[in-house]
Amino acid sequence: MAKQYETVIGLEVHVELATKTKIFCGCSTAFGGAPNTHTCPVCTGMPGTLPVLNKKVLEYAVAVGLATNCTVTRYGKFDRKNYFYPDNPQNYQISQLYLPICRDGSVEIETEAGKKQVGIHEIHMEEDAGKLIHDEWEDCSLVDYNRSGVPLIEIVSEPDMRNAEEVIAYLEKLRMLIQYLGASDCKLQEGSMRADVNLSVREAGAAEFGTRTEMKNLNSFRAIARAIEGERERQIELIESGQKVVQETRRWDDGKGESYAMRSKEDAQDYRYFPDPDLAPIVISDEWLAEIKAAQPEFRTEKMARYKKEYGIPDYDIEIITGSKHMADLFEETVRLCGEPKKVSNWLMVETLRLLKERGMDPEDICFSPENLAKLIRLVDGKSINGTVAKEVFEIMFEKDIDPEKYVEEKGLETVSDEGALRRAVEEVIAANPKSVEDYRNGKGKAIGFLVGQTMKAMKGKADPGMVNRLLKEML
């Protein structure tokens, strides 16, 4: 019988924090600037420059630590991690090794196999590197330091996961917690959340862990799942053929569906960490910690319970809406404005989800404001527009966050409630469709639907369908 193997997985998750400025200087963290336009002497490693810590970075890191049940380090420091690479302007990265800001936490994940705790070994703060662009023409690399110094936290898990499903559940859990804290938008594709997978295999029942590898460049859940499967197989093959797994860093190529070692002679992997003398130690008092704790938001589990009690919307809706902090905020604020939880939920669950899916967007990308959604709901409630028009307006709103009241007015989309005009339209429809009229009069009730449709069409969709129905019945 073939041997049974167990996969052991630990994750190193880098999360880009949602601060306005970099971790050690006053440069903007905004995306999309022309190369090196968000840089200064500090984040480009000019001689004589010194780092000063962004307080918000520390607060976010502590908040994430509290949300993941960590012990917050009361006396912390930064360390320098020394290695040469052009994206790293000082040729050392300011990070934390000896006294990371948080330690010993855990989060609960849920998969089909049930609930499980995943341990958090530590969370530390560090700076991001710049970007390298390959220039084919000159056959060189070009360096853009706009991302250099963007604040990151690295969340290092214990090797507690056993398969891709658990890994993805863990990542989803972290993403949810961190999004709820507002500490990051955690987008895998855009790199604001990046996961490196440490993986080893061992014979089922073995007490010792096998030799692990670290897999980098995983940009989607799909890539993570595929890389885990690929690496598991690669390691098992090595073991079965009597070879050894080498402890190394590998890069996943999702296009080819395989990984390769990133080793080179010049990569000594000896980072010579030591406490950074340029940064003062961090001391977190009880009061400060209590303040950060008090400022923690309502997390998803609590929110779900409250929604059920307060709004009485279906569980499925709650699941979807609270699955995105942005959507939950949007929901709550819109309900506050218009007082119609079910209607707000309907707009989110039906039209919003449909459009997100069609356009391949995430709930975080929703751009319309709660004010405008509330206005739209009021327009429908007040019968100023009918459902069909409302959907059209919503689609525009989804795209450009227009003010629906103004839009309806400008485009003249208000429901025609002038009975005289409607009556004339109905008369014309009756005159033009003798066959349907005949059918209706002969007892085919359904025929009225066609006539309503024709009338709505004649009114360019702006009639109140209820009213059209009543008039038709009256006049037939």
Partner 1 sequence: MANKISDETIEYVGILAKLELSGEEKEAAKADMGRMLDYIDKLGELDTDGVEPMSHVFAVQNVFREDVVTNGDMRADILKNAPGEKDGMFMAPRTFE
Partner 2 sequence: MELWKMTALELSGRIRAKEVSVAEAAQAMLDRIEEKDGLYHCYVTVDKESVRKQAEEIQKRIDSGEFAGVLAGVPVAVKDNMCTEGVLTTCSSKILGNFVPVYSAEAVRNLERAGALVLGKTNMDEFAMGSTTETSAYGVTRNPWDTGRVPGGSSGGSAAAVAAGECFAALGSDTGGSIRQPAAFCGVVGMKPTYGTVSRYGLIAYGSSLDQIGPICKDVSDCAALLEAIASYDAKDSTSVRRQDTDFTSALKEDVRGMKIGVPRDYFGGGLDGEVKEAVQKAAGLLRERGAAVEEFDLSLVEYAIPAYYTIAAAEASSNLERFDGIKYGFRAENYTGLHDMYKKSRSEGFGAEVKRRIMLGSFVLSSGYYDAYYLKALKVKALIKKAFDEALSKYDIILGPVAPSTAPELGGSLADPIKMYLGDIYTVSVNLAGLPAISLPCGKDSGGMPIGLQLIGGCFKEKVLLQAAYTYEKARGEFGLPEGSGKDAGSIADREEAEEAGRYGEAI
What does 50 bind: partner 1, partner 2, none (CB cut-off 5 to 8 Å by kind)?
partner 2
Question: Which tokens belong to 274?
Answer: 């030591």
- Binders of partner 1 among residues 141 to 200 (CB under 8 A) are 141-145
Quickly tell me which residue has 């080819």 as its tokens. Answer: 256
Pair 24, 41: CB distance under 8 Å: no
Nearer to partner 1, 132 or 350 (CB): 132
Spatial separation of the C-alpha atoms in residues 155 and 177, rounded to whole Å: 13
Q: Report CA torsion sign: 460, 465, 470, 472.
A: positive
* Least spacing, CB of residue 229 vs partner 1, in Å: 25
* Least spacing, CB of residue 26 vs partner 1, in Å: 3
**Widest CA span of the chain, in angstroms?**
94
What does 450 bind: partner 1, partner 2, none (CB cut-off 5 to 8 Å by kind)?
none
Q: Is 115 in the site for partner 1 (CB under 8 A)?
A: no
- Residue span binding partner 1 (CB under 8 A) among the ranges 177-185, 275-283, 300-308, 441-449: 275-283
Closest CA to 51 of 280, 274, 272: 280
The residue from 113, 206, 261, 280 that contacts partner 1 (CB under 8 A) is: 280
Spatial separation of the C-alpha atoms in residues 17 and 56, rounded to whole Å: 9
What does 80 bind: partner 1, partner 2, none (CB cut-off 5 to 8 Å by kind)?
partner 2
- Binders of partner 1 among residues 80 to 109 (CB under 8 A) are 82, 84-86
For the chain, the residue count is 476
Closest CA to 209 of 175, 171, 235: 235
The residue from 9, 11, 19, 456 that contacts partner 1 (CB under 8 A) is: 19
The residue from 117, 233, 281, 406 that contacts partner 1 (CB under 8 A) is: 281
Binding residues for partner 2 (CB under 8 A):
41, 44-53, 80, 82, 84, 86, 89-92, 141, 143, 266, 270, 272-274, 277-280
Q: Is 246 in the site for partner 1 (CB under 8 A)?
A: no
Spatial separation of the C-alpha atoms in residues 250 and 292, rounded to whole Å: 38
The residue from 113, 132, 206, 261 that contacts partner 1 (CB under 8 A) is: 132
* Least spacing, CB of residue 36 vs partner 2, in Å: 11
Pair 125, 96: CB distance under 8 Å: yes
What does 159 bind: partner 1, partner 2, none (CB cut-off 5 to 8 Å by kind)?
none
Between CA 363 and CA 306, with CA 19 as vertex, the angle to 5 degrees is 45
What does 194 bind: partner 1, partner 2, none (CB cut-off 5 to 8 Å by kind)?
none
| Residue 26 CB neighbours (<10 A) | 12
* Least spacing, CB of residue 127 vs partner 1, in Å: 14
Buried b (16+ CB within 10 A) or exposed e, 231-243: bbebbbeebeeee
Q: Is 282 in the site for partner 1 (CB under 8 A)?
A: yes
DSSP state of 96: -
* Least spacing, CB of residue 126 vs partner 2, in Å: 16
Show the beta-strand stretches assigned E in 174-317. Answer: 193-203, 213-216, 249-253, 258-261, 274-275, 282-283
* Least spacing, CB of residue 250 vs partner 2, in Å: 21
What does 27 bind: partner 1, partner 2, none (CB cut-off 5 to 8 Å by kind)?
partner 1
* Least spacing, CB of residue 92 vs partner 2, in Å: 5
What does 281 bind: partner 2, partner 1, none (CB cut-off 5 to 8 Å by kind)?
partner 1
The residue from 112, 270, 286, 358 that contacts partner 1 (CB under 8 A) is: 270
Closest CA to 38 of 46, 26, 23, 27: 27
* Least spacing, CB of residue 8 vs partner 1, in Å: 30
Pair 224, 46: CB distance under 8 Å: no
Nearer to partner 2, 53 or 402 (CB): 53
- Binders of partner 1 among residues 397 to 456 (CB under 8 A) are none
DSSP state of 89: T
Q: Is 274 in the site for partner 1 (CB under 8 A)?
A: yes
What are the beta bridge partners of residue 11? 197
* Beta-carbon contacts of residue 403 (< 8 Å; ≥ 6 apart): 372, 375
* Least spacing, CB of residue 38 vs partner 2, in Å: 16
Size of the residue set binding partner 1 (CB under 8 A):
55
What SS3 state is found at 114? strand
- Residue span binding partner 1 (CB under 8 A) among the ranges 37-45, 190-198, 208-216, 362-370: 37-45
Show the beta-strand stretches assigned E in 145-234. Answer: 151-157, 193-203, 213-216
- Residue span binding partner 1 (CB under 8 A) among the ranges 52-60, 159-167, 227-235, 454-462: 52-60
Spatial separation of the C-alpha atoms in residues 389 and 411, rounded to whole Å: 11
Spatial separation of the C-alpha atoms in residues 166 and 225, rounded to whole Å: 10
Torsion angles phi and psi, residue 197, rounded to 5: -105, 120
- Binders of partner 1 among residues 297 to 336 (CB under 8 A) are none
Q: Which residues bind partner 1 (CB under 8 A)?
A: 19-21, 25-28, 33-41, 44, 46, 52-58, 77, 82, 84-86, 132-135, 138-145, 265-266, 268, 270, 272, 274-275, 277, 279-283
